A and B are shown apart, each in its own frame.
Chain A
Amino acid sequence: MREKRKFEVWHVITWVMLALFALFLVYPMFGILRQAVFASDGHFTLEQFQKFFSTPYYSSTILNSFKVTLAVTLVTLLLGIPFAYFYSFFQLKGAKFLFVVAILCCMSAPFIGAYSWIMLLGRNGVITAFFKDVFGVRLGSIYGFGGILMVQALKFFPLVFVYMNGAFKSIDNTLIEASANMGCTGVKRFFTVIMQLSMPTILAASLLVFMRAFADFGTPLLIGEGYRTFPVEIYNQYLGENGTDHNFAAAISVIAIVVTAMVFFLQQWATRKYSFSISALHPVQKRKPRGAAGVLMYIYCYGLIALAFLPQIYIVYLSFRNCDGAVFKPGFSLGNYEKAVKKLLVRSINNTLIFGVVSLVLIILFAILIAYLVVRRPSVPNHTIDTLSMLPYIMPGSIIGIALVIAFGKQPFALTGTMAIMIIALVIRRMPYTIRSATATLQSIPISTEEAALSLGAGKLKTFVRITTPMMANGILSGAVLSWVAIVTELSSAIILYNNKTITLTMSTYAAISRGNDGLACAFAAILTVLTAVSLILYLQLTKSEDIRL
Chain B
Amino acid sequence: MVNPMSVRIQIKDAVKKYGGNTVIQDLDLDIRGGEFFTLLGPSGCGKTTLLRMIAGFNSIEGGDFFFNDTRINDLDPAKRNIGMVFQNYAIFPHLTVRKNVEFGLRNRPFPKARIPEQTDKFLKLMQIDQLADRLPDRLSGGQQQRVALARALCIEPDVLLMDEPLSNLDAKLRVEMRSVIKEIQNNIGITTVYVTHDQEEAMAVSDRIAVMNAGVIQHVGTPKNIYQRPANIFVATFIGRSNLLDGTMVMKNGRAEVTLPTGYVAEFSTVRQDPAGWKDGAPVRLCARPEELIVQPKGLPGLKAVVDDCVFLGLNTHYFVHLLTGEKAEIIQESTIDSVIPQGTEISLRLNTDKANLFEKESQLSLMSGVQNDLDALR
User: Which A residues contact B (CB, under 8 angstroms)?
Assistant: 1-4, 446, 448-449, 451-459, 462, 467, 470-471, 473
Contacts and interface: CB of A to CB of B under 8 A. Distances in A.
Given A451-B84, A462-B107, A456 B90 contact: no
Given A2-B58, A456-B151, A467 B78 contact: no
Contacts of B82: 455
Contacts of B57: 2, 451, 454-455
B66 interface: no
Question: Most chain-A CB neighbours within 10 Å: which of B55, B83, B90, B91?
Answer: B90
29 contacts: A1-B59, A2-B58, A2-B59, A3-B59, A4-B59, A448-B86, A448-B87, A448-B88, A449-B90, A449-B92, A451-B57, A452-B84, A452-B86, A452-B91, A452-B92, A454-B78, A455-B56, A455-B83, A456-B78, A456-B103, A456-B104, A456-B107, A457-B79, A457-B107, A457-B108, A457-B155, A458-B103, A470-B94, A471-B92
B80 interface: yes
Interface in B233-285: none
A467 B136 CA distance: 14
Contact of A454 (B59, B77, B81, B155): B77
Nearest to B19: A1
B4 interface: no
Interface string B48-88: 00000001111100000000000000000111111110111
Contact of B77 (A1, A448, A455, A473): A455
A451 to B, nearest CB: 5
Contacts of B79: 457
Nearest to B79: A457
Question: Most chain-B CB neighbours within 10 Å: which of A448, A451, A452?
Answer: A452
A459 B79 CA distance: 9
B314 interface: no
B20 interface: no
A458 B107 contact: yes
Question: Lowest 3 CB-CB distances: which A-B pairs, in order?
Answer: A456-B104, A457-B107, A448-B90
Contacts of A3: 59
B93 interface: yes
Contacts of B93: 449, 471
Question: Most chain-B CB neighbours within 10 Å: which of A1, A3, A454, A462?
Answer: A454
A535 to B, nearest CB: 24
A459 to B, nearest CB: 6
Contacts of A2: 57-59
Contacts of A471: 92-94
Contacts of A455: 55-57, 77-78, 80, 82-84
Contacts of B94: 470-471, 473
A457 B77 CA distance: 8
A456 B77 CA distance: 9
Contacts of B91: 449, 452
Contacts of A454: 56-57, 77-78
A451 B92 contact: no
Contact of B78 (A446, A449, A457, A473): A457
Contacts of B88: 446, 448
A453 B84 contact: no
A448 B93 CA distance: 12
Contacts of A462: 107
Contacts of A459: 78, 107
Given A2-B58, A3-B59, A453 B86 contact: no
A4 B107 CA distance: 25
Contacts of B104: 456-457
Given A2-B58, A470-B94, A471-B93, A456 B86 contact: no
B123 to A, nearest CB: 16
Given A455-B56, A457-B79, 9 more contacts: A2-B57, A4-B59, A446-B90, A449-B90, A452-B91, A456-B155, A458-B103, A459-B78, A470-B94
B87 A458 contact: no
B86 A451 contact: yes
Question: Most chain-B CB neighbours within 10 Å: which of A2, A3, A457?
Answer: A457
Contacts of B59: 1-4
Nearest to B161: A455
Interface string B90-129: 1111100000000110011000000000000000000000
Contacts of B107: 456-459, 462
B78 A452 contact: no
A470 B104 CA distance: 17
Question: Most chain-A CB neighbours within 10 Å: which of B82, B83, B92, B108?
Answer: B92
Nearest to B18: A1
Question: Most chain-B CB neighbours within 10 Å: which of A4, A456, A457, A470?
Answer: A456
A348 B207 CA distance: 74
Contacts of B84: 451-452, 455
A43 B214 CA distance: 65
Nearest to A4: B59
A2 B76 CA distance: 11
A467 B92 contact: yes
A2 B103 CA distance: 24
Nearest to A459: B78
Contacts of B151: 452, 456
B256 to A, nearest CB: 50
A451 B83 CA distance: 11
Nearest to B87: A448
